[in-house]
């Protein structure tokens, strides 16, 4: 309203000045003969001069109102065309309802390109920052895992080993003196040995999950050689170089750690066989032990480690199969398809026979794959 009144008043003053200038041009300087007629001449009892002022007021405010409405309409058109830019859309009105000057269209298009470019730049910067933070967090996690593993190995693990050796010596002395060791001493020795296995399983978990510059075969060989020196049971393995993506190798390495850790903690096995080979575009990883086994239906609902193995297998598009019979042993097998078109159906059949008869360790009696 203030804009309408101010603009109308300005136009009225201008028109009134132009009218006075026109009368001055026609009649000269105001005098009684000419200018007085503006008050004496009446139409509908209203002097001519008053009519002139009324007409000028109507013209002024009508023009002001029309201009204001056009400006508001143009603002609405511009707002309608620019609003999609805030919603990451591209919109330049082409119909007559929203048409405006070509110059403004060019400016709007340039503004659109600028906003989209800045939005993409901000998204890229945000993504790079998040990736850098994730990488830093992962590096710190690995460093902390390694630090904990070193401290546990140098302190608790060594103390458990010393306690185990001391108890073994005490058992031998008591057996030599009394013919047999006491049940309490034997039970204590068993508890310490089990604690050693738990500690070795924990250290296995704390190892770095990534292979870095090593292949999966190299990483698993290093893991198994180190493990052979620390456990009481026999470990046999057959490993082949299998071309896999880095992410799949890291997941399979973690699956191997998880499976061996479960074997250390729960299997009470005397023999463990590990197989990692490639057959007919499949990477096959298998861990088999002759331990106490379990009911698979019960393990699926209560085994956190087994759930981790299955979840990691699904994440890389592999299948995981667990076969276990109480008192006979357990087999965990993961099969991952690889992108390689070699071999034939006949070769595949022969190679599968080679896996079951030569390469892979035989399953415990009563266990079928």
Read off the pLDDT of residues 3-15 as tens digits, 9 standing for 90 and up. 777 877 888 888 8
Who has greater pLDDT, 25 or 342? 25
pLDDT > 80? residue 293: yes
Q: Compute the average pLDDT of residues 254-278.
A: 87
pTM attached to this predicted model: 0.47
pLDDT > 60? residue 174: yes
CB 256 within 8 Å of CB 285: yes
Whole-number Å distance between alpha carbons of 195 and 265: 9
Whole-number Å distance between alpha carbons of 306 and 255: 9
Who has greater pLDDT, 278 or 356? 278
pLDDT > 60? residue 356: no
Q: Compute the average pLDDT of residues 175-183.
A: 77
pLDDT (0 to 100) of residue 153:
64
Choose among 271, 275, 266, 341: nearest CA to 298.
266
Cα angle for residues 339, 344, 347 (degrees, 5° grid): 115
pLDDT band for position 201 (50/70/90)? low
Q: Could you tell me what percent of the chain has a pLDDT over 70?
A: 72
pLDDT (0 to 100) of residue 306:
82
Choose among 219, 290, 291, 279: nearest CA to 255.
219
pLDDT (0 to 100) of residue 369:
34
Cα angle for residues 52, 57, 63 (degrees, 5° grid): 125
pLDDT > 70? residue 312: yes
In this predicted structure, which of 72-76, 227-231, 285-289, 295-299 has the lowest mean pLDDT?
A: 295-299
In this predicted structure, which of 256-260, 309-313, 346-350 has the lowest mean pLDDT?
A: 346-350
User: Which are the contacts of 341, defined by CB distance < 8 A and separation ≥ 6?
Assistant: 281
pLDDT (0 to 100) of residue 368:
36
pLDDT (0 to 100) of residue 366:
37
Q: Could you tell me what percent of the chain has a pLDDT over 90?
A: 10
pLDDT (0 to 100) of residue 39:
65
Q: H or E segment at 330?
A: strand 329-337
């Amino acid at each position: 309203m203030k804009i309408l009144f101010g603009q109308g008043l300005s136009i009225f003053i201008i028109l009134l000045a132009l009218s006075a200038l026109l009368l001055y041009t026609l009649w000269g300087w105001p005098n009684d003969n000419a200018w007085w007629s503006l008050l004496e001449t009446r139409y509908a009892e209203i002097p001519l001069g008053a009519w002139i002022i009324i007409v000028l007021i109507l013209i002024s405010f009508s023009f002001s109102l029309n201009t204001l409405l056009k400006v508001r309409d143009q603002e609405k058109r511009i707002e309608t065309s620019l609003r999609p830019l805030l919603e990451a859309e591209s919109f330049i009105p082409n119909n007559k309802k929203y048409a405006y000057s070509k110059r403004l269209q060019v400016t709007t298009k340039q503004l659109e390109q600028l906003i989209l470019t800045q939005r993409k730049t901000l998204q890229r910067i945000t993504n790079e920052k998040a990736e850098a933070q994730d990488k830093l967090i992962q590096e710190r996690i690995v460093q902390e895992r390694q630090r904990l593993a070193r401290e546990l190995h140098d302190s608790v693990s060594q103390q458990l080993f010393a306690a185990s050796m001391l108890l073994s010596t005490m058992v031998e002395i008591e057996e030599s003196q009394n013919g047999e060791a006491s049940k309490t001493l034997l039970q204590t020795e068993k508890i310490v040995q089990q604690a050693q296995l738990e500690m070795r399983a924990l250290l296995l978990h704390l190892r770095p999950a990534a292979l870095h510059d090593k292949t999966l075969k190299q990483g698993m060989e290093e893991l198994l050689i180190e493990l052979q020196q620390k456990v009481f049971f026999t470990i046999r393995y057959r490993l082949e170089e299998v071309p896999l993506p880095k992410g799949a190798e890291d997941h399979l390495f973690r699956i191997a750690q998880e499976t061996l850790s479960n074997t250390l903690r729960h299997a009470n096995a005397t023999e463990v066989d590990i197989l990692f080979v490639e057959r007919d575009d499949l990477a096959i990883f298998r861990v088999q032990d002759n331990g106490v086994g379990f009911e698979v239906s019960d393990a699926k609902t209560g085994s956190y480690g087994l759930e981790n193995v299955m979840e990691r297998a699904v994440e890389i598009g592999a299948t995981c199969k667990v076969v276990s019979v109480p008192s006979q042993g357990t087999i965990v097998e993961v099969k991952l398809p690889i992108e390689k078109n070699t071999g034939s159906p006949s070769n595949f059949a022969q190679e599968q026979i080679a896996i079951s008869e030569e390469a892979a360790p035989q399953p415990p009696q009563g266990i079928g794959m």
